[in-house]
């Protein structure tokens, strides 16, 4: 396929490139082969050849080709409660609402119905790669994986491990550390088999829910499994004042130090939230090459603070964007970019200097930052990157400025899924607004 039209793509943390008219050429493996500007000598011949083979895809005037987004933190089973009980304290929200909901995924029909809705909703919002927390149930997590494969979404999925009876309810936890570790390994092996069978982009992830939910034996065993299978790791780290203090009270160490002690901070680790991270923690993240999933909406409700994304970036820590469904109520990375910008301004207004981020910075987190955190070659519209793409309509192009910078900021602030006309993952169309069920 060859797209003809205007492109926005992150060049760096502080710069987004705009190309008003290029050919974006996708090869049969779903990679971007070339991006040809209008002044290159073979622009016309490549365009004509694509038209002759019926693979030229003109992008309409007023619409733009953008990279697909990477969401670094989604609690898949929590989708049915998105936006509910967010006025409650985190621990009460978990025990009263979240754990009872997640326990329902023992019912595989319920899992199938929910996950079909969730995966389609994320794709329709331009999210092409997702790092998912599943539930404790192996079979339900495999249903999520199958739906991602069928829908064409790139998915990193973890069976949640949680066995600490002091912090998890008796109706929803692994019955022992032995069960938590054995079931995690079963899930890893079955997901790898599914990946081979479907040739889809599925990766199992080691997933301790967070330090309070797990016994020492489970944390230790999960670190060993991550090394055995060379897998990504996801969890929460210094998500709130309560979690931060819990680690100190139990281990006499900071949350990041505890995770590191058990081998859970690696160059394949993504830790969510981090609103309470101190400089020593960020230095440890940098040393281990561990990334942060910035979840700006949910941090407003449960984080007790604002993560200084610019400070973390300047310290050399990779940061990407996460929705944190359902602690964050919106499945839209656009909505989370907007909140990230607003929250950073509030942080600066509170006296934290040089903490404000721009639309360009937020766009980098949503594309390149997330892709780098998962070590996947996507997030840019450039040769050698996966063709994860979205075609977005500028709904106000007829009445507002058409300066490139103005268009870009307008897309960041005003795009909803209604303006996302098409979505592609590795060159395959997965959403077409003309087909309400996707493709």
CA nearest neighbour of 142 among 108, 99, 174? 108
Q: How many CB atoms lie within 10 A of CB 397?
A: 15
CATH of the domain at 398: 2.30.40.10
35 plus 84 within the same structural domain? no
> Which domain, by its residues, includes 394?
2-67+380-432
The residues, ordered by sequence, that sit 6+ positions from 49 with a Cβ below 8 Å of its Cβ are none
CA nearest neighbour of 20 among 54, 52, 43? 43
**Paired strand residues for 393:** 63
44 plus 103 within the same structural domain? no
302 plus 403 within the same structural domain? no
Predicted structure pTM score: 0.97
15 plus 118 within the same structural domain? no
Q: What is the pLDDT along the chain (439 residues), one digit of tens a residue?
A: 999 999 999 999 999 999 999 999 999 999 999 999 999 999 999 999 999 999 999 999 999 999 999 999 999 999 999 999 999 988 889 999 999 999 999 999 999 999 999 999 999 999 999 999 999 999 999 999 999 999 999 999 999 999 999 999 999 999 999 999 999 999 999 999 999 999 999 999 999 999 999 999 999 999 999 999 999 999 999 999 999 999 999 999 999 999 999 999 999 999 999 999 999 999 999 999 999 999 999 999 999 999 999 999 999 999 999 999 999 999 999 999 999 999 999 999 999 999 999 999 999 999 999 999 999 999 999 999 999 999 999 999 989 899 999 999 999 999 999 999 999 999 999 999 865 444 3
Q: How many domains does the chain have?
A: 2
Q: From CA 335, how far away is CA 64, in angstroms rounded?
A: 18
Q: How deeply is 428 buried, as exposed, middle or buried, from its count of CB atoms within 10 A (0-12, 13-18, 19+)?
A: middle
CA nearest neighbour of 214 among 258, 244, 252? 258
123 plus 245 within the same structural domain? yes
Concatenating the DSSP letter of every residue in 366-405 gives IIIIHHHHTT-S-SS-STTSB--EEEEE-TTTTTS---HH
Q: Taking a C-beta distance cutoff of 8 angstroms, is the pair 387, 430 a contact? A: no
Q: How many residues does the chain have?
A: 439
Q: Taking a C-beta distance cutoff of 8 angstroms, is the pair 365, 294 a contact? A: yes
Indicate the residue among 324, 347, 373 that finishes a domain.
373
């Amino acid at each position: 396929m060859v797209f003809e039209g205007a492109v926005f793509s992150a060049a760096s943390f502080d710069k987004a490139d705009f190309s008003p008219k290029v050919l974006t050429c996708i090869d049969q493996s779903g990679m971007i082969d070339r991006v040809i500007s209008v002044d290159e000598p073979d622009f016309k011949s490549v365009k004509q050849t694509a038209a002759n083979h019926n693979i030229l895809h003109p992008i309409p005037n007023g619409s733009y080709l953008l990279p697909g987004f990477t969401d670094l933190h989604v609690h898949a089973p929590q989708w049915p409660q998105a936006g509910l009980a967010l006025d409650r304290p985190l621990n009460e929200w978990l025990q009263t609402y979240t754990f009872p909901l997640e326990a329902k995924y023992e019912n595989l029909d319920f899992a199938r119905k929910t996950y079909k809705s969730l995966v389609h909703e994320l794709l329709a919002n331009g999210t092409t790669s997702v790092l998912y927390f599943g539930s404790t149930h192996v079979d339900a997590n495999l249903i999520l994986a199958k739906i991602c494969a069928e829908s064409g979404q790139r998915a990193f999925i973890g069976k949640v491990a949680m066995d600490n009876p002091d912090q998890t309810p008796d109706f929803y936890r692994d019955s022992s550390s032995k069960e938590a570790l054995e079931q995690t390994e079963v899930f890893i092996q079955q997901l790898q088999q599914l990946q081979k069978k479907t040739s889809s982009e599925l990766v199992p992830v080691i997933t301790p829910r967070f330090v309070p939910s797990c016994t020492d034996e489970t944390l230790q065993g999960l670190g060993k499994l991550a090394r055995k299978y060379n897998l990504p790791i996801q969890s929460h780290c210094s998500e709130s004042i309560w979690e931060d203090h819990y680690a100190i009270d139990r281990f006499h160490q900071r949350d990041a130090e505890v995770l590191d002690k058990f081998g859970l901070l690696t160059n394949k680790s993504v830790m969510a939230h981090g609103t309470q991270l101190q400089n020593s923690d960020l230095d440890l993240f940098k040393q281990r090459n561990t990334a942060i999933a910035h979840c700006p909406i949910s941090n407003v409700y449960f984080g007790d603070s604002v993560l200084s994304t610019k400070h973390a970036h300047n310290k050399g820590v990779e940061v990407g964007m996460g929705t944190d469904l359902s602690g964050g109520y919106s499945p839209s990375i656009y909505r989370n970019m907007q909140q990230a910008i607003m929250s950073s301004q509030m942080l600066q207004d509170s006296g934290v200097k040089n903490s404000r981020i721009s639309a360009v910075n937020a766009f980098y987190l949503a594309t390149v930052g997330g892709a780098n955190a998962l070590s996947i070659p996507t997030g840019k519209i450039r040769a050698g990157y996966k063709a994860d793409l979205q075609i977005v309509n500028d709904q106000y192009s007829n009445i507002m400025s058409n300066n490139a910078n103005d268009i870009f900021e307008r897309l960041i602030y005003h795009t909803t899924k209604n303006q996302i006309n098409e979505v592609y993952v590795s060159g395959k169309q997965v959403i077409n607004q003309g087909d309400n069920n996707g493709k």
